[in-house]
Amino acid sequence: MALRISGRALAPSALRNTTVLPATSRKQWVRHYATPVKDQENRTAIVTGSARGIGKAIALRLAQDGYDICINDIPANEPGAKEVVSEIKKLGRNAFNFSADVSNLKEVENLVQASVSELGPLNTMISNAGIAQVKPLLELTEQDFKRMFEVNVYGTFNCYSVAARQMIKQGTGGKLLGAASIVAFKPFALLSHYSASKWAVRGLTQAFAMEMATHKITVNAYAPGIVGTAMWDLIDEKLGELSGAKKGDTIKKYSSELIALGRTSEPEDVAKTVSFLSSPDSDYMTGQTILIDGGIIFT
């Protein structure tokens, strides 16, 4: 026979055994952010590969968000980097340019040291610098593959590791962000070694997230789709040469057939997501790679 007990019969006993704490003794929850909020202190960021394209858009957006920025690119792009510095200063934020090749560990160490010396404690490292190459798999040389990984993978590792050591030394936590790509989820033909390098960035991001969590450092990546930048202009041109398509036709074809929103993205589309990942609003996110592709891949 089933035994039924009324909820009313239980209620008085439950209430008798419940202790209600006075308001003054209840635990007060306090938020601890990986990056300081605007009214606490100046926030600083290094954005690699920021003389143009997505990196430039990220640097300008973070300046609007209240960051002081270290602009980084290779020496050949120094004129563009200096222009970005000038634009940031017009926004009322501090900025300076430091040329360095992210594939060289010593140069990245010098980059971080210069940023801390010039701007103060490092809050956010954005490993944005990268290269691409369009080439059939069986035509790739050992040097092609090596250089792709030196910049895209070693460069990300160098930026993550050197910045993490600085943040741990400061004891203030921080944010590490890396540039992945849509091809970190779905490789494109003729972009095999580029695709492999971005899968590696995604993996590094997850690994760093696990090991840096104890230091209150979050690690995430952003994955742009087809963007109107010099890199995608090159991809369009080279794919066109191989397929016989005119310049611009390949990106138009991809945009109409692959992108749900029907347009190629702009660097500012990516910068908006990086702004979120750099802000206190993303402090409970780590180990994620966020797609900004207009709806090519759904997760």
Residue pair 3/29 in contact by the 8 Å Cβ criterion: no
The span from the CA of 23 to the CA of 41, in Å, is 32
State the catalytic residue, choosing from 194, 222, 254, 284: 194
Instruction: With beta carbons less than 8 A apart as the criterion, state whether 99 and 74 touch.
Output: yes
Does 194 participate in catalysis according to the annotation?
yes
Query: Cβ distance 53 to 265 under 8 Å?
Result: no
Give the span between the Cα atoms of 241 and 23, in whole angstroms.
72
Q: Do residues 105 and 25 touch, judged by C-beta distance below 8 A? A: no
Q: Which amino acid is at 189?
A: A
What is d(CA 78, CA 74) in angstroms, rounded to the nearest whole number? 7
Residues involved in catalysis: 194
